[in-house]
Structure 1
Amino acid sequence: MADQMIIESSNISDGFFGFLSPSISSAHTSSPTPPNPLLSSKPLRNATPPSPTLSSTPPPIPPHYNHPYMQIYVYDLPSKYNSDWLTNERCSNHLFAAEVAIHRALVSSEVRTLDPWEADFFFVPVYVCCNFSTVNGFPAIGHARPLLGSVVELVSSEMPFWNRSQGTDHVFVASHDYGACFHAMEDVAIADGIPELLKKSIILQTFGVKYKHRCQEVENVLIPPYISPLKLQSTLGEVVGATANERDIWVFFRGKMEVNPKNISGRFYSKRVRTDIWRKFNDNPKFYLKRHRFEGYQSEIARSVFCLCPLGWAPWSPRLVESVALGCVPVIIADGIRLPFPTTIRWSEISLTVSESDVGNLDDILEHVAATNLSTIQRNLRDPMKTRALMFNDQLQRGDATWQVLNALSQMLHRSHSYKRRSRSSSQ
């Protein structure tokens, strides 16, 4: 799977959302199917109070958000689909926890409508990455397909909206390695493909590549992995003054690096990229390479000039978000990777991309950057909008990752039954 690092502490961050202000309309009087109490819109169970944010001043409203009155209906599903999983606090804190954070943000936001007949989109909050294996501690997602099949059967039988559109205006989160293919090994993920019942819906997923791939053959919005805003705030507080103007680590990487990679299912971990990095640069004093986990690794990122972000099983990595947030230049080593929110974040201005075949030349490549445009990249990294766009908060904030998702959904309003109805009415 995408290499996991230790991520602890609460994922709750406060904020406000003062731009979107749709009215909450009453129940549709001519509704052919009365709302089912089981699926009524109520606040998320076990909600927790807000806590500090990375920045007290939200960035300007993105100019490309063209539909400020878009409305989303959030299904209130039986607790077995979501809140029951929160008994394990890791569920809302690990790198796949965007499924929880987006749910919480939408429930408490003004973009939410309590009237499904007025909704443009329907959010289906199913947590599929919270079933942690007792063997290795990683998310076990073998239950994902039957769980999603069960929830689609429920919403399609109890309310008319899924059948009305065949799910094209319904939104799911698939934050695991290969998105809605729901498997950590690429060959199996490709063989299994995306479940038929999800192929017409919209998937919010961390997996994305620029080439044809079966696991992204669905309408999708690429999202970043989850990193706790509170944990980052704590790290920034610890390093203020100590490393603000001095980064004593030239090149940093901490994570799984196999000296002799094992061939599993015909694939080498990280396509042997991490092994090659270790073999070539372990003895180079400019490279700070560590193979073991360390709870305070974010403080090491904050001390570093360049942070390596190589692929694991999947191409994406939580290091990308942490590096941007802590001012370390991300060095992306994952051929063909597609990065989140490119209309907001010009990745070429804040990161470096090195091909997998060129990892043996990392020292020369980074020395060249240092001699040419490093200061420009570092200056671009200090723009708070970049960090805000990659962070999920439990309460929606202008410019944050959930806001960026709404931006993307606003470009898909042609899928909205309500939007088509309003357009027809306004043209008459």
Structure 2
Amino acid sequence: MEVAVQIQRLFHVQIQRLLLTIATVVAVVVVFQFLVSPNKNYISNLWDASNGSVVTVGNVTSSSSSKLTGISVIHGMVNNSMASDSEGEGKDGDETQVEGMEKHSYFQVDGHEEMNNSFQIDEDGQLSQEITSESGFDHDKSLRYVKARNINTSFSMLGEVHSESSIESLGLVSPKISPNVIADLDAGLRTPPSSIAGNASLAHNNTELVEIQPGHTNKELLGNTSTSQSNHSSVSVDLIMKGRRRRKPTTISDMTLLLLQSLNSSSRPQRSSPRDRELQYARSQIQNAPVIRSSPELYASLFRNYSMFRRSYELMERMLKVYIYKEGEKPVFHQPRLTGIYASEGWFMQLIERNKQFVVRDPRKAHLFYLPFSSKNLRIALQQKQFTRREDLEEYLKNYTDIIARKYRFLNRVKGADHFLVACHDWAPWMTRKSMGNFIRVLCNANVARDFRIGKDVSLPVTYIRSAQDPGQDLGGKPPSQRTILAFFAGNMHGYLRPVLLQHWENKEPDMKISGPMPRDREGKTKYMESMKSSKYCVCARGYEVHTPRVVEAIYHECVPVIISDNYEPPFFEVLEWEAFSVFVLEKDIPNLRNILLSIPEDRYLAMQQRVKLVQQHFLWHRKPAKYDLFHMILHSVWYNRVLQVKL
């Protein structure tokens, strides 16, 4: 009997010790996880993960029973490979593009040095896209999406996304994907599947958006995804925006203040040359320009300071001389591309190299020095395996500038401040950030939250050119009284913002024509054009990057642009008064978009719409340049920024 009692007591002691050990281990694990990431709700996540599919973004958890849009997160390995470009290439090498469906590569950096991975999908076997990453990005952390079709996925995820630090690795459950999904994702790829960078997906009904983050291989994407036909991890796409709201965006008013501040940061060269003295004279003339109210060919209401612009433009026509470096081999140098979404850089290259008014053969007579390279052609060179790594593109341009610096004394005279480049590819800011960082960079990807410098760099309009013979075709639109649509948008779900736009406004109000991409046939193209021509406001929502061709398309069709792209400096910001003919809406205010537009008085809308028609001349390409056209406006902005950098 006593033996039985002793055994029972021993048993109870062992049980107590076991429970104590388990409690100690659990406590240590919880404390350790809390110390590593104190903001995560691990207990809640672990409990929910055992009861169903859960997605946590920030500290918000949504179970699989939610009816909101699903987000799936895939965690992969870092890969250094790259795919083809963000524009589809036809058999003749020309870009193919459809209205409402522009293609942008995407840059995102989770640190100071990040590799640049890319990804291409040929949607329905025709349209290719790309996503990339870029260094120097700290204000614009976000979720990225590429459209895919017919994917039903369900995941559990532990973790959160922080906007003020690099996006953390996200734990995941359910690592497989169906063969049909693989075929859909890989359709039209021109590079090995390992070049696809993937890290998450967003589901909406039968169509899903695949969230892409840099540094992950396609093999990891395909190996860490599961297909579920019954349940969906769900969370509202509004949660995507929450992490982005922690940092205040740079508004148009902020940019104006930064532009004024840049005037006080001008520099004086150590050794003043005759050209420097001419620039100092020009600055004095511009800043003391006589007041001019209006003229038959220009409209004062379109400009920040009409008198200064007129005087500056006159001095440019009379004084400016540009030297074009002859160095550099085709196709990267001296070979413009005149069609497609990146055509702006090509048209400027062609027109400046043919110009006799501004171009000089003697570099000693030049105020500005132009480097005639094509960022698009450089990207294609990588795609065609002429380079092996993304870093080779940057090194290639550095080697080029080194050759220029050794051969000419002008590059080092003012540290490149009188040199400029014109580049429209999304990668251009990254390609040129080191070796050409002091140059005046004319960029389509004008993101002031990165290293685009207001008052030095110039925002280049994105002009999608379909015909090199007639670059300004199909202009105009209906008069205001016949514009029955309040706001119009149609396009692919590129980037994090457009899914949010559609979630709030697709099929919500009869006067808000907000939708995904229209059909790519002739009828679809015509409908897209007619919708712009029949709308009061045209929504220009950013894609993977801050810029979009819709801004210029809206101007071409006399539709007031509604720009929804935080930190985007619009073209020719240094001289044009954009708020006189367009509307800027912060990304966080998308839920209130219709109220914002309805609050604009009719007389103000009519004035803006009339100014859109008047500003159109400044965004047109001509085979033979015309006064105040797009070629001259680009050249003037380079001249204007250079002149105002010179200290009196």
When normalised by structure 2's length, the TM-score is 0.46
* Partner SS, residue 435 of structure 2: helix
1:373 alignment counterpart:
604
Distance 1:233 1:218 in 2: 29
1:63 alignment counterpart:
311
2:340 alignment counterpart:
94
Q: Which moved more, 1:98-107 or 1:324-333?
A: 98-107
* Partner SS, residue 342 of structure 1: coil
Distance 2:368 2:608 in 1: 38
Q: CA RMSD in A?
A: 3.6
1:34 alignment counterpart:
none
Letter in 1 for 2:401: V
What do residues 296-334 of structure 1 show as CA deviations (whole Å, max 9, x unaligned)? Answer: 433432222111011222222111111112111111112
Aligned pair partner of 1:226 in 435, 445, 463: 463
Aligned pair partner of 1:114 in 361, 381, 384: 361
1:357 alignment counterpart:
588
CA contact (8 A) 1:7 1:227 kept: no
What do residues 211-270 of structure 1 show as CA deviations (whole Å, max 9, x unaligned)? Answer: x5335489312221224396664323xx77x77862243321111237xxxxxxxxxx23
Distance 1:288 1:156 in 2: 53
Aligned pair partner of 2:510 in 275, 279, 285: 285
Distance 1:303 1:2 in 2: 30
* Partner SS, residue 64 of structure 1: helix
Distance 1:141 1:376 in 2: 47
2:627 alignment counterpart:
398
Aligned pair partner of 2:323 in 64, 73, 88: 73
* Cα distance change, pair 251–195 in 1 and its aligned pair in 2 (3 A): closer
* Cα distance change, pair 174–78 in 1 and its aligned pair in 2 (3 A): closer
Letter in 2 for 1:404: M
* Cα distance change, pair 169–64 in 1 and its aligned pair in 2 (3 A): closer
Give the length in aligned residue pairs.
Answer: 333
Letter in 2 for 1:255: G
1:335 alignment counterpart:
566
> In the TM superposition, what is the alpha-carbon distance from 1:83 to its structure 2 partner?
6.0
* Cα distance change, pair 62–325 in 1 and its aligned pair in 2 (3 A): farther
* Cα distance change, pair 404–355 in 1 and its aligned pair in 2 (3 A): same
> In the TM superposition, what is the alpha-carbon distance from 1:358 to its structure 2 partner?
1.3
* Partner SS, residue 474 of structure 2: helix
Distance 1:153 1:81 in 2: 20
1:128 alignment counterpart:
375
**1:6 counterpart = 2:253:** no
Distance 2:390 2:554 in 1: 28
1:250 alignment counterpart:
486
CA contact (8 A) 1:95 1:227 kept: yes
Aligned pair partner of 1:206 in 433, 444, 449: 444
CA contact (8 A) 1:104 1:394 kept: no
Query: Where do 5+ consecutive residues of structure 2 fail to align?
Result: 1-84, 89-95, 100-295, 300-308
Letter in 1 for 2:625: L
Distance 1:209 1:144 in 2: 21
1:177 alignment counterpart:
426
State, as a whole percentage, how many aligned pairs show the same letter. 20
1:322 alignment counterpart:
553
Distance 1:415 1:282 in 2: 46
> In the TM superposition, what is the alpha-carbon distance from 1:118 to its structure 2 partner?
0.9
Distance 2:471 2:98 in 1: 10
Letter in 1 for 2:438: K
Query: Where do 5+ consecutive residues of structure 1 fail to align?
Result: 9-56, 183-193, 259-268, 424-428
* Partner SS, residue 446 of structure 2: coil
**1:151 counterpart = 2:388:** no
* Cα distance change, pair 399–371 in 1 and its aligned pair in 2 (3 A): closer
> In the TM superposition, what is the alpha-carbon distance from 1:281 to its structure 2 partner?
1.7
Larger Rg: 2
Letter in 2 for 1:71: K
Letter in 2 for 1:63: R
* Partner SS, residue 77 of structure 1: coil
* Partner SS, residue 625 of structure 2: coil
* Cα distance change, pair 178–338 in 1 and its aligned pair in 2 (3 A): farther
Q: Which has the higher contact order (CA 8 A, sep 6+)?
A: 1
* Partner SS, residue 327 of structure 1: coil
> In the TM superposition, what is the alpha-carbon distance from 1:348 to its structure 2 partner?
0.9
* Cα distance change, pair 250–413 in 1 and its aligned pair in 2 (3 A): closer
1:105 alignment counterpart:
351
Distance 2:466 2:349 in 1: 16
CA contact (8 A) 1:81 1:125 kept: no
* Cα distance change, pair 290–95 in 1 and its aligned pair in 2 (3 A): same
* Partner SS, residue 359 of structure 2: coil
Q: Which moved more, 1:67-76 or 1:386-395?
A: 386-395
Distance 1:70 1:180 in 2: 26
> In the TM superposition, what is the alpha-carbon distance from 1:107 to its structure 2 partner?
1.7
Distance 1:173 1:111 in 2: 16
CA contact (8 A) 1:199 1:218 kept: no
CA contact (8 A) 1:81 1:147 kept: no
CA contact (8 A) 1:2 1:313 kept: no
Letter in 2 for 1:6: Q
Letter in 1 for 2:463: Y
* Partner SS, residue 373 of structure 2: coil
Taking the TM superposition and a 5 Å limit, the aligned residue runs for 1:47-62 are: 62=310
> In the TM superposition, what is the alpha-carbon distance from 1:81 to its structure 2 partner?
4.6
2:190 alignment counterpart:
none
Distance 2:577 2:454 in 1: 25
Distance 1:77 1:346 in 2: 38
**1:168 counterpart = 2:417:** yes
Distance 1:243 1:380 in 2: 13
* Partner SS, residue 330 of structure 2: helix
* Partner SS, residue 364 of structure 2: helix
Distance 1:414 1:255 in 2: 39
